[in-house]
Amino acid sequence: MDGRVEETLGISKVRATRSRESRESMHRVISLLEAAVGQLHEHEQLAQVTLLEAASLLRQCIHPSAAGELPDGKGRLLAWQARKVRDHIERHLTGPLRVADLGALIQRSAAHFSRAFKRTFGESPHSYVLRRRVELAAQYMLTTNASLSDIALRCGFADQAHLCKQFRQSTGETPAAWRRAYQLNHDENGTISPDGSLRPDSSPFAELVRQVV
């Protein structure tokens, strides 16, 4: 009996924590959307970065198991499994990431892992990795003067063409056009340092690009 009481209390605490985190996330999403509305006219690219973050937070709210939901027996990854896989992807985002290797982390076959991953994160492992690489590429484009071919390799894409294809599918624009529009708005303000990176005080970009990934 005592064991059941402790288990019930533990579940209640987890649910209370998740509820609080969910409310905080939703408030953050609202703030991001309000900021994006204000940026649309003068800083369209900044608005897109803000919306990317808002979309990422919404995915976590819609699929809370990715952020630590208790297993529900419906084929989702357990909380510790989701964290382990997600952390591994983030640490190795720019290198090869095979489904079979990700499944091996939690001792699951590639097919079983793929199904569980999609039910947990709301997208396939391949789509998840591509989305994170596009977001990382956007960060590089906003914070450096590196060439697109260099950024593509830094972010784990096969080449510049691969980056361009995925970026356009995500944003509706080519990386070059997206980046050029930002530079036209901001280069004249002296926000680019001699080494080609954004200056630390080039707000509000400085804070937002740190939150892209």
Domains of the chain by residue range: 72-121, 128-210
Q: Is the pTM of this model over 0.75?
A: no
Class of domain 128-210: mainly alpha
Specify the pLDDT at position 49.
62
Mean pLDDT, each 10-residue run in order, the chain (213 residues): 48 54 69 67 61 65 47 74 94 93 93 94 94 94 92 94 94 91 63 41 38 39
Taking Cα atoms as reference points, which of 87, 106, 169, 104 lies closest to residue 134?
Answer: 169
Cα angle: 52, vertex 57, 59; to 5 degrees: 95
Structure tokens that stand for 3 in this block: 């064991």
Specify the pLDDT at position 48.
61
Specify the pLDDT at position 165.
95
Specify the pLDDT at position 181.
83
If 0-12 CB within 10 Å is exposed, 13-18 middle and 19+ buried, where does residue 84 land?
middle
Specify the pLDDT at position 88.
95
Q: What does the chain come to in residues?
A: 213
